[in-house]
Structure 1
Amino acid sequence: MEKMEPAKGPAVWRGADFVGNDDWIVSLSSADLDEISAALEHAKTINLPIHHISTKDFPLLGLRRILKGLAEELEIGRGFALIRGVPVDHYNEDENKIISWGLCSYLGTGIPQSRQGDWINHVIDISDQTLPPKPELDHVLRRKSLRTNHRGGELDFHTDTTDIFALFCLRPAKNGGRSRLASAAMLHNMIGEAAPDYLEALYDGYYYMSQSDDKVGSNSTISSKRIPVFTRRGDKVEGYYISQVVQRAVDQGLFKYNLVEDSARKEIQRMAEAPGMAHEFDLRAGDLLLVNNHAVLHARYDYEDHPEVARRRHLFRLWIANRPEMMSKTFLASSEKIS
């Protein structure tokens, strides 16, 4: 199949397709919640480190079938799903971690999100609480030096460095912060139709620069080659793009792209912002959002939060590998995809 040909299949969608359609949401029943509670108690008695908990340590005989169906939907369907209704207020933080990890263990293998071995990342704005000790930088630059999961504000459309990412909502924001999803395959098709030269540039890709505390390879923070935004995997189109990591290399003066290359990456955001393109929704406490990182880009709107940290928007982020052969090539061995 020619790479420039339009992608087809259930992963090609617009957000408008889901207006009034809740087929992507699984609402947990009382029986499901009882099963989760029993699995939690079983996992607690074993007392394993969180990243050692597997399906056998978090047994879900009934929910197993549902989770298997969601895993298939992520891989060969629309590429995202949401589990709704975990009573997070009934559990403490450690118990909610076990629940989120246990549910996700049925989708694949949990992986660390940094070289420091962060298995579950807290997504919460603490930029006014803890800033890196870098007195040579002003407050704005110091805030930017925090990882995005510890900063508030709007996030552009991007992917993560994993097969599946999950967001488990403990608390939503006071106001705003809507989640947004966009089909990578649909963006591919729309850009290819409107600007084929941009699509060619996106297939060529960009150089990525890691954060200083997450170096890869020898001592290099730069990918050794361009990483494509779009790739073909069989008859499917997959996407990979982290704008801030590309821009970081540009800001450091390490790379300068021509007009087409620069415009092409901006077109991703512009096209995703087009009316009806993105699927937008609010995460509720107890929601577990599951997204195929190869099929779907995600973003969020800005939000207003509470002044008290204990009341702020707080999510757990988990990364899951469901393609061992892919992980051995792209994350563990070559580390070409940089967080």
Structure 2
Amino acid sequence: MPSHLLDLPTEIISQILAPLPTSSLLRFSETSHHARTLANANLHTLSLGIAPPTLSRPKLLNIDQTSEPTSTTGNSTKSPYSIWLQIPKAQTYEYWTLFNFQSALVTSILNRHGTMLQHLEISVWALTLPMVSAIENLRALRRFSLRIERIIGGRRSCVAVKREEQEKAWELLTKSTPVWSRRLMALKLENCDLKVDQLAILLKESRDCEELGLDRCRYFGKGLWTWLMEWEGTGKLKVLNVADCGGQLGEVSRMAMGKLNGLQSLNLYDCQEQEPGEFERCNRNLWHVPNFVAPRPGGHGANMILEVDPDYMQ
């Protein structure tokens, strides 16, 4: 009988390590070189967020609704697979120092621990070419969530270079269908500057994708719904969330919804429709999606005005 854990067969060790939270797995990896190799090969879920210089903590895109991060420190979260990093005294560093540090850190983590990574959730404030090079090689990836944080303020030159870098990053990621496209079961993108034809490349071979979430992807116009009608993966889609993209909901988007026969959840709250109440009527009479959130009314928030007594301001 083996006298040490590492003397056990690799298959048994993998079963022991699989349920461990990220923090425990990383501590195990520090015990020896062999342990590090085993730990790297058994990290299956990672939720990683890096705070931008002007934001204390973003809300991560949850891969699992039961594992929403709740800590503001990053040391303790509800999800055992969440890591939240905040750079100490970030305001004392140059923007490009922070930019390059974030890129190098995320890239290093993915290259080192991405061998068996199946569920990946990233919240960063810039997508770079090195990050994308690491992401496109995650062969075991099944669920992928990416949120790009908006940085308030900053010099125009920095914003312009960041935008150019992200444009190149999306071009690199979509120059061909990623190796994980065929296995992908969920994709969530928030504030991502890719185009509909690039989204089509990401999901070109995805036939088992059950969840698609698109939020504030500003380049997604009405062409999003045209692609959705043509996409061969619609048969397995169960959850669709679209917010602040896809243009105004009308005939094309209505036709696209009609082809999604397997939908169990449809959220269109942050979208605008041409005819108020039209999509709610369509769901009630035609689609029958169990969990349906209709587009918000056109006048939502119009009457939410707070009047202040001028005497109070003096």
Larger Rg computed on CA atoms: 2
Compare relative contact order (CA 8 Å, sep 6+) and give the higher one, 1 or 2: 1
TM-score (norm. length: structure 2): 0.27
Of Structure 1 and Structure 2, which has the larger fraction of its residues in strand? 1
